[in-house]
Amino acid sequence: MSENWDALIRGENCPVCDLISSGKSEDDHGIAVADLSFSRLFLAKNQYVQGYCVLMCHRHVIEPYELTADERTKYFNDLALVGQGLEKAFMADKLNYNILGNLIPHLHTHILPRYFTDDAPNRPIDPGMKGREVYLSPEGYQERIELIRSHLGNSL
Ligand SMILES: [Zn+2]
CA distance 156 to 137: 25
pLDDT digits (tens, 9 = 90+) for 90-148: 999 999 999 999 999 999 999 999 999 998 888 999 998 888 899 999 999 999 999 99
Q: Contact 87/115 with Cβ under 8 angstroms?
A: no
Enumerate residues with CB within 5 Å of ligand 1 (an ion).
Answer: 11, 14, 16-17, 60, 106
Domain annotation for the chain: domains and CATH numbers: 2-155 (3.30.428.10)
pLDDT higher than 90, residue 1 = no
Interval 15-31: pLDDT, tens: 999 999 998 999 999 99
From the CA of 121, how far away is ligand 1's center (Å)?
A: 33
Predicted TM-score (pTM) of the model is 0.94
Q: What is the distance in A from the centroid of ligand 1 to the CA of 116?
A: 35
The percentage of the chain sitting over the pLDDT mark of 70, rounded to a whole number, equals: 97
Flag whether pLDDT at 69 surpasses 90: yes
Q: How far is the CA of 53 from the centre of ligand 1 (A)?
A: 18
Task: Say whether 66 sits in a helix, a strand or coil.
Answer: helix
Q: Are 143 and 90 in contact (CB under 8 A)?
A: no
